[in-house]
Amino acid sequence: MIAGVDEVGRGCWFGPVFAAAVVLPEAAHQPLAAAGLTDSKALTARRRAQLVPLIEQQAQAWALGQASAREIDQLGIRTATERAMLRALQRLPAPQPSLVLVDGVLPLRLWDGPQRTVVRGDSQHLEIAAASVLAKQARDALITRLAERYPAYGLERHAGYGTAVHRQALLEQGPTALHRRSFLRKVLPA
b/e per residue, 100-129, with b = 16+ CB within 10 A? bbbbbeeebeebeeebeebeebbebbbbbb
Cβ neighbours around 151 below 10 Å, total: 10
Average pLDDT over residues 41-46: 91
pLDDT band at 122 (very low <50, low <70, confident <90, very high): confident
Distance CA 116, CA 102 (A): 6
Is the per-residue pLDDT at 13 higher than 90? yes
Is the per-residue pLDDT at 26 higher than 90? yes
pLDDT band at 14 (very low <50, low <70, confident <90, very high): very high
Cβ neighbours around 33 below 10 Å, total: 12
Distance CA 185, CA 190 (A): 7
Q: What is the pTM of this model?
A: 0.95
pLDDT of residue 89: 97
Distance CA 75, CA 70 (A): 8
pLDDT band at 41 (very low <50, low <70, confident <90, very high): confident
Is the per-residue pLDDT at 190 higher than 80? no
Class of residue 37 by CB neighbours under 10 A (exposed 0-12, middle 13-18, buried 19+):
buried
pLDDT of residue 140: 96
Q: Taking phi first (over 0 means left), then psi (-120 to 50 degrees means alpha), and beta for anything else, what does residue 173 get?
A: alpha
Fold for 2-183, please state it. Answer: Nucleotidyltransferase; domain 5 (3.30.420)
pLDDT of residue 175: 96
